[in-house]
Amino acid sequence: MKLLVCALSLIVVAVGGVSQSALAADARYPNRPIRIIDPFPPGGATDYLDRIIAPKLSERFGQPVVVDNRPGAGGNLSAELAARATPDGYTLHMNLPGGMASGRILFPKLAYDIRKDFAYVTLVAAGSYVLVAHPTLPARSVSELVALATAKPKDLRYGSAGIASPPHLAFELLKIRTGMKIPHVPYKGAGPLVVGLTGGEVQLGF
């Protein structure tokens, strides 16, 4: 069972907003390695894109571009690390704009401000959420899933890439709209989620 649910986009943001004067003072930029901080562990969408982009940037700049995976808190840990980095253009942060925007609402005491501590660089990719189920699940449509969840709520669990991650929020929205009472099992990224889903630890996920 697959269901197109909502759009997902990814951006790279440069920490702190690199000042024009700082770049002008160093016409050799970049003259040392560049780091891309990723909010999820290896195997997820952002990590996949990082590892496509990094070699191309390295070839273009003539400097190593290193992917630094820092999972946790739905992307907030990596964002905080990026926000604290020196704003010199050598730290980039790949993240989900939806996740960063919702973070301000879900976590009002964040140690960073997405409007002040980051400078937008570019849109990297856009995609869609897909609702997937373990092949043994006896449901082939959302209506069948709702009926199954109503009849056997304790037999179903859904997984996500982490608490407060966009896939987590997407499934909670689906639960609100359908009245399902399926418990949530958070994983540390999409890669571990896929392992849990294929292994039968959870039956559903975005």
* CATH code of the domain covering residue 21: 3.40.190.150
Q: Are residues 12 and 58 in the same domain?
A: yes
Q: Are residues 91 and 69 in the same domain?
A: yes
- Residue 2 predicted with pLDDT over 50: no
**Which pLDDT tens digit goes with each residue over 27-40?**
788 999 999 999 88
Q: Which amino acid is at 53?
A: I
Percent of the chain with pLDDT over 90: 50
**Which pLDDT tens digit goes with each residue over 41-61?**
898 888 999 999 999 999 999
Q: Are residues 91 and 122 in the same domain?
A: yes
Residue, of 136 and 121, whose pLDDT is higher:
136
CA distance 60 to 82: 23
Number of domains into which the chain is organized = 2
CA distance 32 to 120: 22
Which pLDDT does position 104 carry in this prediction?
75
In terms of Cβ atoms closer than 10 Å to its own Cβ (0-12, 13-18, 19+), residue 43 is middle
Phi-psi region of 10 (alpha: psi -120 to 50; beta: other; left: phi over 0): beta
Which pLDDT does position 28 carry in this prediction?
83
Whether 186 maps to a domain, the answer reads yes
CA distance 3 to 130: 5
Look up the domain containing 40 and give its range: 7-127
**Of 78, 81, 75, 55, nearest to 66 (Cα)?**
55
Q: How confident is the model at residue 5 (pLDDT cuts 50, 70, 90)?
A: very low
Mean pLDDT of 166-189: 93
- Residue 9 predicted with pLDDT over 50: no
Pick the last residue of a domain from 66, 101, 127: 127
DSSP sequence for the chain: --EEEEEEEEEEEEET---HHHHHH-TT---S-EEEEESS-TTSHHHHHHHHHHHHHHHHHTS-EEEEE---GGGHHHHHHHHHS-SSSSEEEEE-HHHHHHHHHH-TT-SS-TTTSEEEEEEEEEEEEEEEE-TTSS-SSHHHHHHHHHH-GGG--EEESSTTSHHHHHHHHHHHHHT--PPEEE-SSHHHHHHHHHTTS-SEE-
Q: Are residues 165 and 175 in the same domain?
A: yes
- Residue 109 predicted with pLDDT over 90: no
Which pLDDT does position 21 carry in this prediction?
52
**Of 95, 115, 81, nearest to 165 (Cα)?**
95
Half-sphere exposure of 137 (CA within 13 A, CB side): 31
Angle subtended at Cα 104 by Cα 99 and Cα 108, rounded to the nearest 5 degrees: 140
Which pLDDT does position 11 carry in this prediction?
47
Q: Are residues 115 and 171 in the same domain?
A: no
Mean pLDDT of 145-166: 92
**Which CATH number covers residue 136?**
3.40.190.10
Q: How confident is the model at residue 10 (pLDDT cuts 50, 70, 90)?
A: very low
Q: Are residues 149 and 167 in the same domain?
A: yes
Q: Are residues 101 and 139 in the same domain?
A: no
Whether 1 maps to a domain, the answer reads no
Q: Are residues 109 and 144 in the same domain?
A: no
Whether 2 maps to a domain, the answer reads no
